[in-house]
Amino acid sequence: MTDTAMPEYVIEVNDVSMVFNIASEQLNNLKEYFIKLVRHELFFKEFRALKHVNFKVRRGEVVGLVGTNGSGKSTMLKCIAGVLEPSEGNIFVRGNIAPLIELGAGFDPELTARENIYLNGALLGYSNDFIDEHLQEIIDFAELQNFMDMPLKNYSSGMVARIAFAIATVTEPDVLIVDETLSVGDVFFQEKCEKRIKNFIDSGNVTVLFVSHSMEQVERICQRAIWIEKGEQRMDGLVGDVLKAYKAQFA
Amino acid sequence: MPHLASHYAKDGFILQQLVNKDFKLRYRRSVLGVVWSVLNPLLMMIVMSFVFSYFLRGSNVENYPLYLIVGNVTFGLMNEATSTGLRSIIDAAPLLKKVRVDRWVFPIQKVLSSVVNFALSLIAVVIVMLFFRIAPTWHLAWMIPALLLLMVFCAGISLLIGALAVFFRDIIHLWSVLLTAWTYLTPIFWDLSLLTNSNAPWIVTAVVKANPMYNYIDMMRCAIVYQTSPGSTVITLAVLWAILALVIGVLVFRKTEHKFILYI
Tens digits of residue pLDDT in A59-87: 989 999 999 888 888 889 999 998 899 99
Average per-residue pLDDT in chain B?
93
Residues B104, B159: contact at Cβ < 8 Å?
Answer: yes
Say how far residue B97 (Cα) sits from the centre of its chain: 29
Instruction: Point out the residues of chain A with pLDDT beneath 70.
Output: 1-7, 23-28, 40-44, 180-184
Residues on chain A touching B21 (C-beta within 8 angstroms): 108, 111, 115, 119
H helices within chain A, ranges in order?
A: 30-38, 73-81, 113-123, 128-142, 157-168, 187-203, 215-221, 239-248
- Using CA atoms, how far residue A245 sits from A50, A91, A180, A225, in Å, is 20, 27, 21, 11
Q: Which of B14, B21, B99 sits opposite A83 (nearest CB)?
A: B99
**B1:A123 CB<8 A:** no
Closest CB to B10: pick one of A118, A125, A170: A125
pTM tops 0.80:
yes
Range scoring the smallest mean pLDDT among A183-192, B86-95, B238-247: A183-192
User: What residues of chain B lie within 8 A of the CB of A119, using their CB?
Assistant: 17-18, 21
- Which residue numbers of A have CB closer than 8 Å to B's CBs? 20-21, 28-31, 33, 81-85, 96, 99, 101-102, 104-106, 108, 110-111, 115, 118-119, 122-128, 130, 134, 170-171
Q: Measured between CB atoms, does B96 come within 8 Å of chain A?
A: yes
- Is the pLDDT assigned to residue B212 strictly greater than 70? yes
Taking an 8 Å cut-off on Cβ atoms, the answer to whether A21 and B262 are in contact is: yes
CB contact under 8 A, B261 and A84: yes
Residue A1 confidence (pLDDT): 41
Q: Is the pLDDT of residue B59 over 90?
A: no
* CB-CB under 8 Å, A30 with B168: yes
Q: Between vectors from CA B251 to CA B250 and to CA B253, what angle results, nearest 5°?
A: 65
For the cut 60, the answer to whether the pLDDT of residue B71 exceeds it is yes
Judged by CB atoms closer than 8 Å, whether chains meet at A125 and B95 is answered as no
pLDDT more than 90, % of chain B: 76
Q: In chain B, positions 17-36, which contact chain A (CB-CB < 8 Å)? A: 17-18, 21, 24-25, 28
Q: Tell me the β-bridge partners of A88.
A: A17
**Mean of pLDDT values over B213-239:** 97
- What's the confidence (pLDDT) of residue B152? 98
Mutating which of A123, A174, A177 best tests the B interface, going by the most B Cβ atoms within 10 A? A123
% of chain B residues with pLDDT over 70? 98
Asked if B8 has any chain A CB less than 8 Å from its own CB, the reply is: no
DSSP-assigned states of every residue in chain B: --B-SSHHHHHHHHHHHHHHHHHHHHHTT-SSTTHHHHHHHHHHHHHHHHHHHHHGGGS--SSHHHHHHHHHHHHHHHHHHHHHHHHHHHHTHHHHTTS---TTHHHHHHHHHHHHHHHHHHHHHHHHHHHTT----GGGGGHHHHHHHHHHHHHHHHHHHHHHHHH-THHHHHHHHHHHHHHHHS-SSS-HHHHHHTT--HHHHHHHHHSHHHHHHHHHHIIIII-SPPPHHHHHHHHHHHHHHHHHHHHHHHHHGGGHHHH-
The contacts of residue B149 (CB under 8 Å, 6+ apart) are: B216, B219, B238, B239, B241, B242
Cα separations (Å) of A6 from A31, A60, B53?
54, 13, 73
Residues from chain B contacting residue A33 (CB–CB below 8 Å): 168
Query: B18–A81: do the CB atoms touch at under 8 Å?
Result: no
Residue among B3, B16, B98 whose CB faces A96 most closely: B3
Q: How many CB pairs under 8 A join A and B?
A: 82
Sheet harboring A9-23: ordered strands across? Answer: A88-93, A9-23, A44-58, A232-238, A224-229, A62-66, A207-211, A175-179, A97-100
